[in-house]
């Protein structure tokens, strides 16, 4: 039986640590503020944004909500970001993705001042991660490192295979595992003989976006498997990119879906908000 990596419990630990730090800052007269911008009303985005606001409330972070109509122009959005960049009382700025098609996502993310980019998406923060300088790190991969560390899983010297090369998960994940002295391989849709590569992994991080694609034949006996995917199956039940029933008996540890990687993203966002205060000094 594999050890279940409990993302729910670990995310609560991190949020409680943030809560303590925020209380201490408040006692010293410092308030932490996160501005959350949503354009349009994509139902999934509304749920995510609602969860972010709730987490802020729990931790004691002030949240400013900007709910803009679907037809907001790129110019208007950039103007709002400019205002928030200039405000001394705003520490973090988050623009919920995806944005409506008429808005250039890259231009918008680049407009957020790197010192307020709590999502860690700005090229300056991505570059900082690449060369080991301080900066914000994308929340989901940062959360995965915390899952591994807090579950007592050693990364140094391990064969780490990442499936997926997105800017938000795959690429920063590879850089973080490398920073922890893992031996890292990144695979993707054009990888030849994916199974041959994934079967080398001591730590396998799966972020492909295809429900239950990874079955036991992709996994080495005793591997640690981290599942970033989240989908609804034909019975409306949540499932990941990993076929849990098939893979679990072969792992030493595995994240469930739900309750694995998912809760860590918001916990790490909160952590980035708390750290933003020191970074801005
Ligand atoms: N949409 C889905 N995930 C994310 C995220 O982590 N940050 C932002 N800004 N938008 C998202």
280 given a catalytic annotation: no
Closest atom, ligand 1, to C-alpha of 95: 9
Q: Is the CB of 230 under 6 A from ligand 1?
A: no
Q: According to CATH, where is 3.40.50.720 located in the chain?
A: 139-262
Cα separation, 76 vs 2, in Å, equals: 50
Residues 6+ apart with CB under 8 A from 60: 19, 22, 23, 26, 32
Cα separation, 227 vs 243, in Å, equals: 10
Quickly name the fold that domain 29-116 has: Rossmann fold (3.40.50)
Cα separation, 82 vs 219, in Å, equals: 47
52 given a catalytic annotation: yes
List phi, psi (to 5°) of 7: -65, -30
DSSP 247: H
Cα separation, 214 vs 272, in Å, equals: 31
User: What order do you get walking across the sheet with 183-187 strand by strand?
Assistant: 3-4, 251-254, 223-227, 203-206, 159-163, 183-187
Cα separation, 5 vs 19, in Å, equals: 23
Residues in the chain where the model's pLDDT stays below 50: none
Cβ burial of 189 (10 Å; 0-12, 13-18, 19+) is exposed
Catalytic residue among 6, 21, 38, 96: 96
Catalytic residue among 15, 21, 52, 212: 52
26 given a catalytic annotation: no
Would you state the pLDDT for residue 105? Answer: 97
Strands 231-232 and 238-239: antiparallel
Query: Which tokens belong to 264?
Result: 């860590």
Contacts 24+ apart (CB under 8 A), 192-199: 194/163, 194/218, 197/161, 198/161, 198/163
Would you state the pLDDT for residue 281? Answer: 83
Mutate to test the pocket of ligand 1, among 96, 126, 266 (most ligand atoms within 8 A of CB): 96
Cα separation, 84 vs 64, in Å, equals: 10
CATH 3.30.470.20, domain 139-262, yes or no: no
Cα separation, 269 vs 30, in Å, equals: 19
Would you state the pLDDT for residue 273? Answer: 98
Cα separation, 29 vs 126, in Å, equals: 31
Query: Which tokens belong to 20?
Result: 């303590």
Give the closest residue to 47 by CA, choosing from 265, 280, 194.
265
pTM of the model: 0.97
Q: What is the CA radius of gyration of the chain?
A: 19
Give the closest residue to 264 by CA, choosing from 219, 228, 212, 224.
228
Q: According to CATH, where is 3.40.50.10860 located in the chain?
A: 29-116
| Residue carrying the six token digits 């995310």 | 11
Task: Report helix angle 123-131 to 170-179, nearest 10.
Answer: 30
Task: Report helix angle 262-280 to 43-59, nearest 10.
Answer: 60
DSSP 163: E
List phi, psi (to 5°) of 272: -65, -40
Cα separation, 69 vs 89, in Å, equals: 25
């Amino acid at each position: 039986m594999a050890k279940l990596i409990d993302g729910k419990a670990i995310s609560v630990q991190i949020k409680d640590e943030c809560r303590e730090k925020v209380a201490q800052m408040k006692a010293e007269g410092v308030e932490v503020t996160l501005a959350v911008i949503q354009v349009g009303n994509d139902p999934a985005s509304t749920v995510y944004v609602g969860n972010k606001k709730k987490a802020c409330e729990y931790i004691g972070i002030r949240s400013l909500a900007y709910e803009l109509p679907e037809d907001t122009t790129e110019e208007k959005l950039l103007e709002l970001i400019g205002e928030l960049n200039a405000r001394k009382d705003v520490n973090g700025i988050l623009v919920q993705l995806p944005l409506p098609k008429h808005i250039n996502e890259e231009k918008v993310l680049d407009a957020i001042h790197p010192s307020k980019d709590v999502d860690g998406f700005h090229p300056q923060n991505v570059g900082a991660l690449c060369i080991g300088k301080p900066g914000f790190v994308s929340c989901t991969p940062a959360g995965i490192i915390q899952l591994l560390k807090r579950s007592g899983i050693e990364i140094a010297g391990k064969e780490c295979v990442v499936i997926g090369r997105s800017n938000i998960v795959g690429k920063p994940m590879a850089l973080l595992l490398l920073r922890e002295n893992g031996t890292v391989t990144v695979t993707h849709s054009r990888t030849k003989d994916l199974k041959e590569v994934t079967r080398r992994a001591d730590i396998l991080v799966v972020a492909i976006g295809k429900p239950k694609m990874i079955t036991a034949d992709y996994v080495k006996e005793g591997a640690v498997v981290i599942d970033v995917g989240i989908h609804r199956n034909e019975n409306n039940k949540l499932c990941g990119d990993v076929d849990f029933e098939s893979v679990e008996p072969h792992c030493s540890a595995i994240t469930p879906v739900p309750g694995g990687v998912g809760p860590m993203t918001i916990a790490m966002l909160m952590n980035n908000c708390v750290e933003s205060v020191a970074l801005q000094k």
